[in-house]
């Protein structure tokens, strides 16, 4: 259980780090969406190991195969099955870990829950599982782009104690890709890269914070009560391996303000309802208000380190572990496309939900227009 | 859509702040659970308005009626319908808000999404909606208590910039209830109460942070990948009104540590697998490890304030709003039982999921025993 | 579990036959749908006991209260909670049944499954549970009528061995309501009524078959593979108490034909794709083709009879049962609105699913147009 | 949408008849279940084309690959991905069908719903889609067999107007496999085979009825109200291609009886609650009562025939179709394993649901014991 995400644009991932393959099954994709292998591959390339000197050196090309659901490069409305073969699996590298529990990994909890585990490379708990998310996210992103010109961009905001400074409004995917650490503040990026290389040399690891912005998101995404957009974003992000916290808009800092400082005043901007500030992070009452969605996700330092650690064997004997094998000293650079993919998956699912419940035949009334491309929701007060 | 929470212990809430009633329908409750009206009522009393001088003065007794699913004070396995009548609704107090959008409220987004809204008192976006969650949470809590002696306690950790200091391990519900602000640090509590009274006088509001601990949680709750326990907790908490952030274990602070500082070493304690530190917050790889679950939830300052604010009318005219009516200058004291209820709902749902997938016939193997009361999961390495 | 129906237009029913009330919670209703109490009540009146001399004499007015989700007689998109008080419950009439298992009832299976049961009047297994379905079905019917002028009409086709003869294409709700047995063949209706009165005098019961037609159903409802429209209709109908079989289109009789006799040839009728025959019953490959949906549902003779029957007590002692109390000697007349309600619920749910996946921005192509009111799907080949 | 089946033992199928592969993803399989490739393959062999002279001559070995979720031949609790390559696809054989709608196929409805379709071989509407169901069903069957010794056997009861006569209680899979038409009445089987060969020569097709029995099913499977076991069975069976009707127990014939003839009297048999007759078909009030489950499924004559038929092209031109290509003149022999698989999938899902809601800690009470292997539910009245 627990391998399915999304109510209408629903993805189901499968596969272990060291099994024959990893994949995803997408159910609910609208028909007639261009499904371009290269677009999906481009996202996987941003995620794949071995892409730079600061990531794990496992060598996987992560070539995606499209097995179903596509006719003449268009989605047919049927399930889209995507598959990536594991090529550089080295199960023997995990032989020394077979009978012990790596600290702050999932080894113990999987064993205790199921009575069995895929001990080679973390099995399902491996970040390789996110291949399916990133591949499906590429399709979600395409749908949102085509329908509403939605732009989703994430970047590294902080590594360890090195905080970047940038204008979030100006962040583009292109700018983010200019550094291998995916931080748009070039000066900070240099320091971050140095820090990551330093901790790698020490056999240690670091964490940090990723920030994401989504622009041109139509008004009306998200449901009241349990499936608030920020609740589904929180779940999406916290379902990524190694995450520790989630914030939207003003986040934790906002709790130090008073209501009169924190509220976002409304004003009319060229006939469009806008807020002067965006402490709400683009979501009010669980529903998008047309401002940029701004979230931050905290990642812990990688659990796999090469320093000696105290732990237990499966039979309960104390032992010392010094992990061997390939790993990322810092997950954040490769987590950027994962965070973007999860955001795209949440948004496209809620976009389909809005289409279902609202549809186009809602009567026009002040403050209410159909959620259609031709007449975007947020145009509702536009003056003729 | 979006009014249902939980896969197996599934609750469905309904009702508006100023409608005739508010309620919840619980589907999937195991049979033969004692359903005690007074236990449910006790939780609602902790949540109800007018309970102290620092909450809203709306007077609601919030008396719960049990309409179905119970025979001889035991659950029958059928849906349990709970209903609370609204008695002190004063829709006329909202007349001046009918045609404008309160800043940082859900007025605009509901109107834009649906083309219509219940304008009296916030409708579904009102915190009165949480009555159903708290009532259902009381039953969830009872099940967890009876099965595993699970204890769930939350308290106010910070109001505005006043931070409490306490030993989380020693927090009990009783201690938390000794102050009206629900903070166990008596000195800080006094300051918090003074601050809340001060901002109320100013017509303003404040936010803060609630911390929750869950003890005796069996090993094995939570699913890999998307339905990780912390992901479902994140969603649960972020679905509460006015929340801005969520952390587990070391949280944001943990991202300033290195892996060698952050990992939780395993050791054997009386035959039981334990970790020396608990930066994981009781969850590893999405699954409980038997340590205390520790989470924190950030709440923004209440959006309703009595200071003058810039906003728009429904027809797009700029206007100034000075809200009248009753409201909480700080939601945190009343949010404590809401946070506890959501935690209980997540835990009981995953406990039923574990029972489904694991069941009792799993073969005994080192590191794996059935998730049963008589032989708890976390006893797995207990020596004879 | 098992008390929720529908993926997008999702209803959740609760309540026991002899508890304080029965209700339903509707989640996912589109906004701005007229919610007219009288329309809902009219359907409940067709379902209620005591409506004629051939139904049970339990006297329930079954007055529906609307508790949420409605503003100015329009749905708001929030959950619609509907409640009906039980007024003529006589639990004492069931005292003699408390400790025994009525044959072909749910007494034994509920007791065995849950270890407890609401023994008064059948609890959840009572046909009173269908109040929630019929009430929600009235709203579903209204949505379908407004959007596509969909007409749903069911009638009694056979009682015991008395089979009616009528032109299904001409059946209207009004015609069906002209006889208390809800059979449009007046001659057969008279015989059916006499048969029912005869078996009642004998303390016995009879069953039969209900037939339903749905007209003007848009093309494209239903999903491939598991959620085929006929599969969801089959589940919907077979979830009604006392049903034994389900057929669509040619049904069982169709299995005696050869393919060349059974296939429905396509032709063009005023620019519209039609089939010359309708052995498919309006559904091909799980998806509606624009022809009338035609289904039949078989109901067994009522299990409650007043003849002496062999059975067991809860402790396993053989005993003889002669049931007292009020019951329907034949459920079919009152089951007509239930069958219609379930059909409406399935259709509206799939209509929302179609809106979600197809939306309006699908590019026009031969044989494909948006599922919109303004340009109905089935107009696709209409020539100008 | 619509490609997922099961709430806890949840399968998600993908793939087209003429795409590169067909597969299924199983989420929710309990851990430590033996996953034996040969067992799965054996079921696929019963389903595969070209297995005898009365099936389609498409030559597919349908070799299954297990891609995930298995460690040391045991399930790990993670998703089990199964894949079968299409080898004998001949898309060119469908070239003449590309632009027209085959009567009583899904061509028109898919095109109208999605605006696009996989025209080679029926795409998702092809019976090749059932490969995933049959493969997953083999695992479900194994779980049920190991836990409760459940036996599921189906056979052909009628082809066209040739009805078999057999003792259902004595039907075994082995006996069914003795004839290529999978009918245990050898005399009838011979006539059926002759009839199928005759209609093939005529370029025509025939349908019929399959009957299934499930023995040793534990008491308590199925949920009240919407997810009654017979409702989920009805949906499961009616989701198979070419089905027209569904019956349980006495079925349609039962509606000709009176209540006093139809009810199943209870009696005690060696301490076990039994019914003297089984008109209920093993299910009462939606829940299994421990008697054999007996259902029947009606299949229409294959839609693909080689006789000339009237139809339309995609652009609406009338045309005559004489289908070429390979097809089954009668689907029933190959549908037997499909019907068994769907029954196993429904039963295992409800068995997991029972484990979730009941668990083992239910207090013992007359008529209620835990749903465990060691102490089966139906032993509840067993005398010491």
What would the pLDDT profile of D227-244 be if each residue is shown by its tens digit? 999 999 999 999 999 999
What would the pLDDT profile of B33-59 be if each residue is shown by its tens digit? 999 999 999 999 999 998 999 998 888
What integer pLDDT is reported at residue A364 of this predicted model?
Answer: 33
Q: Establish if D28 touches chain B: CB-CB under 8 angstroms.
A: yes
**How far, CA to CA in Å, does B351 sit from each of A202, B150, C2, C21?**
41, 12, 18, 30
CB A171 within 8 A of CB A213: yes
Contact criterion met (CB < 8 Å) for C25 and B27: no
Q: How many CA atoms lie within 13 A of C44 on its CB side?
A: 27
Which token pair is C257? 């034909």
Mean pLDDT to the nearest integer, A64-78:
97
What integer pLDDT is reported at residue C90 of this predicted model?
Answer: 79
CA distance, residue C72 to nearest chain D CA (Å): 32
Rg (chain D; Cα; Å): 22
| DSSP string covering D186-235 | HHHHHHHHHHHHHHHHTT--B-EEEEEEEESPPTT-S-SGGG-HHHHHHH
Chains touching A (at least 3 CB pairs under 8 A) are B, C, D
What integer pLDDT is reported at residue A324 of this predicted model?
Answer: 77
What would the pLDDT profile of C56-69 be if each residue is shown by its tens digit? 888 889 999 999 99
Contact criterion met (CB < 8 Å) for C69 and B14: yes
Q: Is residue D73's pLDDT more than 80?
A: yes
| DSSP string covering B290-350 | SSPEEEEEEEPPPS--SS-EEEEBTTS-EEEE---S---S--HHHHHHHHHHHHHHHHHHH
Closest in C356, C361, C372 to A356, CB measured: C356
Contact criterion met (CB < 8 Å) for A356 and C361: no
What would the pLDDT profile of B281-305 be if each residue is shown by its tens digit? 999 999 999 999 999 999 999 999 9
pLDDT band at D360 (very low <50, low <70, confident <90, very high): low
Residues of A in contact with D76 (CB under 8 A): 114, 116-118, 123
pLDDT band at B360 (very low <50, low <70, confident <90, very high): low
| DSSP string covering B59-98 | -----EEE-SSEETTEE-SS-EEEEEE--S--GGGGGGGT
Q: Is residue A28's pLDDT more than 60?
A: yes
What integer pLDDT is reported at residue D91 of this predicted model?
Answer: 76
Count of CB pairs separated by less than 8 Å, B with D: 57
Of chain A, the end-to-end C-alpha distance in Å amounts to: 52
The C-alpha atoms of residue D375 and residue C40 are separated, in whole angstroms, by: 48
Name residues 107-136 of chain B within 8 A of A (Cβ). Answer: 107-116, 124-125, 129
Contact criterion met (CB < 8 Å) for C266 and D101: yes
Contact criterion met (CB < 8 Å) for B356 and D355: yes
Q: Is residue C112's pLDDT more than 70?
A: yes
pLDDT band at B367 (very low <50, low <70, confident <90, very high): very low
DSSP, collapsed to helix, strand or coil, labels residue B158 as strand
Mean pLDDT to the nearest integer, D17-45:
96
Contact criterion met (CB < 8 Å) for D31 and A78: no
CA distance, residue D332 to nearest chain C CA (Å): 11
Please give the residue of chain D at the shortest CA–CA distance from C4: D226
Mean pLDDT to the nearest integer, B172-185:
96
Strand partners, B83: B23, B65
Contact criterion met (CB < 8 Å) for D109 and C289: yes
CA B317 to chain centre: 38
Please give the residue of chain D at the shortest CA–CA distance from A17: D68
Contact criterion met (CB < 8 Å) for D67 and A14: yes
Mean pLDDT to the nearest integer, D99-118:
94
> Could you tell me what percent of chain B has a pLDDT over 70?
93
Residues of D in contact with A23 (CB under 8 A): 25, 67-68, 81
Q: Tell how strand C266-269 and strand C272-275 pair up.
A: antiparallel
Q: Is residue D384's pLDDT more than 70?
A: no
Q: Is residue D323's pLDDT more than 90?
A: no
Give me chain B's average pLDDT, please.
91
The C-alpha atoms of residue C124 and residue C131 are separated, in whole angstroms, by: 11
Which token pair is A63? 């070539």
DSSP, collapsed to helix, strand or coil, labels residue D140 as helix
What integer pLDDT is reported at residue D95 of this predicted model?
Answer: 84
Q: Is residue C122's pLDDT more than 70?
A: yes
pLDDT band at D57 (very low <50, low <70, confident <90, very high): confident
Q: Is residue A258's pLDDT more than 80?
A: yes
Give me chain A's average pLDDT, please.
91
Question: Rounded to the nearest 10 degrees, what angle do helices B229-238 and A229-238 cross at?
Answer: 160
Q: Establish if C74 touches chain A: CB-CB under 8 angstroms.
A: no
Domain ranges of chain C: 4-379
Q: Is residue D363's pLDDT more than 80?
A: no
What integer pLDDT is reported at residue B90 of this predicted model?
Answer: 79
What integer pLDDT is reported at residue D210 of this predicted model?
Answer: 98
CB A261 within 8 A of CB A253: no
Q: Tell how strand D74-75 and strand D162-163 pair up.
A: unpaired
Please give the residue of chain D at the shortest CA–CA distance from C332: D255
What integer pLDDT is reported at residue D361 of this predicted model?
Answer: 43
CA C374 to chain centre: 29
CB B241 within 8 A of CB B127: yes
The C-alpha atoms of residue C250 and residue C256 are separated, in whole angstroms, by: 10
CA distance, residue C288 to nearest chain B CA (Å): 25
Closest in D30, D370, D373 to B357, CB measured: D30
For A86: left if phi > 0, alpha if psi spans -120 to 50, otherwise beta; the answer is: beta
CA distance, residue A237 to nearest chain C CA (Å): 24
Q: Is residue C36's pLDDT more than 80?
A: yes
The C-alpha atoms of residue B25 and residue D318 are separated, in whole angstroms, by: 55
CA distance, residue B347 to nearest chain C CA (Å): 17
DSSP, collapsed to helix, strand or coil, labels residue D354 as helix
What integer pLDDT is reported at residue B369 of this predicted model?
Answer: 39
Contact criterion met (CB < 8 Å) for B32 and C68: no
Residues of A in contact with C359 (CB under 8 A): 30, 352, 355
| ipTM of the complex in this document | 0.94
Which CATH number does B4-379 carry? 3.60.150.10
Tell which wins on pLDDT, C294 or D325.
C294
What would the pLDDT profile of C66-99 be if each residue is shown by its tens digit? 999 999 999 999 999 999 999 987 778 888 888 9
Indicate which of D124, D192, D234 best probes the interface with C, i.e. most C CBs within 10 Å of its own CB: D234
CA C304 to chain centre: 21
Mean pLDDT to the nearest integer, A71-90:
94
Residues of B in contact with D224 (CB under 8 A): 78
Give the angle A373-C219-D128 at the CA atoms, nearest 5°. Answer: 100
DSSP 8-state symbol, C4: E
What would the pLDDT profile of D250-283 be if each residue is shown by its tens digit? 999 999 999 999 999 999 999 999 999 999 999 9
Residues of D in contact with A10 (CB under 8 A): 1, 4
Strand partners, C309: C321
For C363: left if phi > 0, alpha if psi spans -120 to 50, otherwise beta; the answer is: beta
Closest in D28, D65, D68 to A15, CB measured: D68
Closest in D233, D262, D365 to C300, CB measured: D262
Please give the residue of chain B at the shortest CA–CA distance from D28: B357
CA distance, residue D360 to nearest chain B CA (Å): 7
Q: For B161, phi and psi rounded to 5 degrees? A: -110, 15
Closest in B67, B74, B119 to C15, CB measured: B67
Please give the residue of chain B at the shortest CA–CA distance from A250: B244
The C-alpha atoms of residue C281 and residue C214 are separated, in whole angstroms, by: 10
Closest in B239, B244, B258 to A249, CB measured: B244
Strand partners, A208: A159, A299
Residues of D in contact with B356 (CB under 8 A): 8, 28, 352-353, 355-356
Contact criterion met (CB < 8 Å) for D116 and A79: no
CA A153 to chain centre: 11
pTM over 0.90: yes
CA distance, residue A377 to nearest chain C CA (Å): 15
Which token pair is C317? 């002692």
Residues of C in contact with A355 (CB under 8 A): 355-356, 359
The C-alpha atoms of residue C40 and residue C341 are separated, in whole angstroms, by: 11
Element holding B198 (H helix, E strand): helix B186-201
Contact criterion met (CB < 8 Å) for C266 and D206: no
Element holding D289 (H helix, E strand): none
Q: Establish if C66 touches chain A: CB-CB under 8 angstroms.
A: no
Residues of D in contact with B349 (CB under 8 A): none
DSSP 8-state symbol, D40: H
What would the pLDDT profile of A208-224 be if each residue is shown by its tens digit? 999 999 999 999 999 99
Closest in C28, C30, C362 to A359, CB measured: C30
């Amino acid at each position: 259980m627990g391998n399915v995400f999304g109510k209408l644009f629903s993805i189901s991932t499968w596969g272990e780090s060291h099994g024959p393959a990893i994949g995803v099954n997408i159910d609910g994709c609208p028909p007639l969406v261009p499904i371009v292998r290269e677009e999906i591959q481009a996202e996987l390339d941003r995620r794949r190991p071995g892409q730079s000197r600061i990531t794990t050196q496992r060598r996987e090309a992560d070539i995606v195969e499209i097995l179903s659901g596509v006719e003449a490069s268009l989605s047919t409305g049927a399930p889209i099955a995507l598959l990536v073969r594991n090529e550089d699996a080295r199960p023997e590298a995990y032989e020394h870990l077979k009978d012990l529990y790596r600290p702050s990994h999932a080894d113990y909890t999987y064993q205790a829950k199921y009575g069995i585990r895929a001990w080679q490379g973390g099995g399902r708990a491996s970040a390789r599982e996110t291949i399916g998310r990133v591949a499906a996210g590429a399709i979600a992103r395409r749908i949102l782009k085509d329908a509403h010109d939605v732009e989703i961009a994430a970047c590294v905001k902080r590594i360890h104690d090195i905080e970047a400074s940038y204008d979030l409004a100006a962040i583009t995917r292109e700018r983010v890709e200019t550094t291998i650490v995916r931080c748009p503040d070039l000066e900070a990026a240099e320091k971050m890269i140095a820090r990551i290389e330093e901790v790698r040399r020490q056999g240690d690891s670091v964490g940090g914070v990723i920030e994401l912005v989504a622009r041109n998101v139509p008004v009306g995404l998200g449901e009241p009560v349990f499936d608030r957009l920020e609740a589904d974003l929180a779940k999406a992000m916290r379902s990524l391996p190694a995450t520790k916290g989630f914030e939207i808009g003003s986040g934790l800092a906002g709790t130090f303000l008073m209501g009169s400082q924190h509220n976002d005043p409304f004003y009319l901007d060229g006939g469009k309802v806008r807020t002067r500030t965006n402490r709400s992070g683009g979501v009010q009452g669980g529903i998008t208000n047309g401002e940029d969605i701004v979230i931050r996700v905290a990642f812990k330092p990688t659990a796999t380190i090469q320093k000696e650690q105290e732990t237990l064997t499966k039979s309960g004997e104390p032992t010392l572990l010094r992990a061997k094998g390939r790993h990322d000293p810092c997950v954040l650079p490769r987590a950027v496309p994962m965070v973007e993919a999860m955001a795209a998956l949440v948004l496209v699912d809620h976009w389909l939900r809005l289409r279902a419940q609202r549809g186009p035949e809602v009567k026009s009334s002040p403050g209410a227009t159909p959620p259609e491309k031709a007449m975007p929701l947020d145009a509702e007060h536009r003056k003729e």
